[in-house]
């Protein structure tokens, strides 16, 4: 066990974790932040995407201890009070989700893209989002939502 300190969705926290705890387990089981989903568990599907110091990562492959000293952003942390994040609004307005399981990962990956590149081309959106799978295959609407969110 060791104590880690991180800024979680803007709030500094400290917690004890097992050395071998995965970040996704820490978020979902220890902190009960179940917006982050685990699906493939091998870094392929993108459902567990969170932002570590602003960069999109697979939380199923990250050790919780590697969040020590970092800022972690999950889907629970991007709205401001009752005001949804513009990307969340755009996904709602453009039907950017169907069953919803991939949506937290899609929105965080898209947020990382727009933070780095506020006006991406469609090709840039597609290349960046290529690793966030939607098994309902609603890709057109997802890309439309991100393009609208960038406006």
Partner 1 sequence: MISFTYLEPASLDEALALLAQHGDQSKLIAGGTGLVNLIKQRLVRPSIVIGLRALKGLAAIEENGKLRIGALATLQSLAMSEPIRCSAPLLAEACRHVATVRIRSMATLGGAMAQADPNLDTPPALFALDTQIVARSERGERIIPVERFFTGYYETLLEPDEILIEILIPAQPAGSGTAFLKFLPATQDDYATVAVAARVALDGNGGIADARVALGAAAMVPVRATAVETALAGQRADEKIFRDAAALVADAIDPIADFRGSADYKRKMAVVYVRRALVEAAAKAKRPA
| Residue 150 engages partner 1 in binding (rule: CB under 8 A) | no
Provide the sign of the torsion angle of the four alpha carbons 64, 103, 100, 8, taken in this order.
positive
Q: Are 22 and 60 in contact (CB under 8 A)?
A: yes
Q: How is residue 84 written in tokens?
A: 């949804």
Q: Is 146 in the site for partner 1 (CB under 8 A)?
A: no
* DSSP helix/strand/coil, 41: coil
Number of shown-chain residues binding partner 1 (CB under 8 A)? 29
- Determine which residue in the list 112, 142, 143, 146 makes contact with partner 1, applying CB under 8 A: 112
Residue 13 contacts by C-beta under 8 Å, 6 or more apart in sequence? 5, 6, 7
**Which range binds partner 1 by CB under 8 A, 6-14, 41-49, 71-79, 86-94?**
41-49
Counting contacts by CB under 8 A, is residue 135 touching partner 1?
A: no
Q: Which is nearer to partner 1, 8 or 62 (CB)?
A: 62
Residues 45 to 84: which contact partner 1 by CB under 8 A?
46, 49, 52, 55-58, 61-63, 65-66
């Amino acid at each position: 066990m060791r104590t880690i300190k991180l800024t979680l969705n803007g709030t500094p926290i400290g917690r004890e974790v097992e050395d071998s705890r995965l970040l996704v387990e820490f978020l979902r089981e220890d902190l009960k932040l179940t917006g982050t989903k685990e699906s493939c568990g091998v870094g392929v599907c993108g459902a567990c995407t969170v932002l570590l110091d602003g960069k999109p990562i697979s939380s199923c492959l990250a050790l919780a201890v590697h969040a020590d000293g970092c800022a972690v952003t999950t889907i629970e942390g991007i709205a401001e009070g009752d005001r949804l994040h513009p990307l969340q609004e755009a996904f709602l307005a453009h039907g950017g989700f169907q069953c919803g399981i991939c949506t937290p990962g899609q929105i965080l990956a898209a947020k990382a893209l727009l933070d780095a590149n506020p006006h991406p081309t469609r090709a840039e959106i597609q290349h960046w989002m290529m690793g966030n799978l939607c098994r309902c295959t609603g890709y057109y609407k997802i890309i439309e939502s991100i393009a609208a969110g960038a406006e």
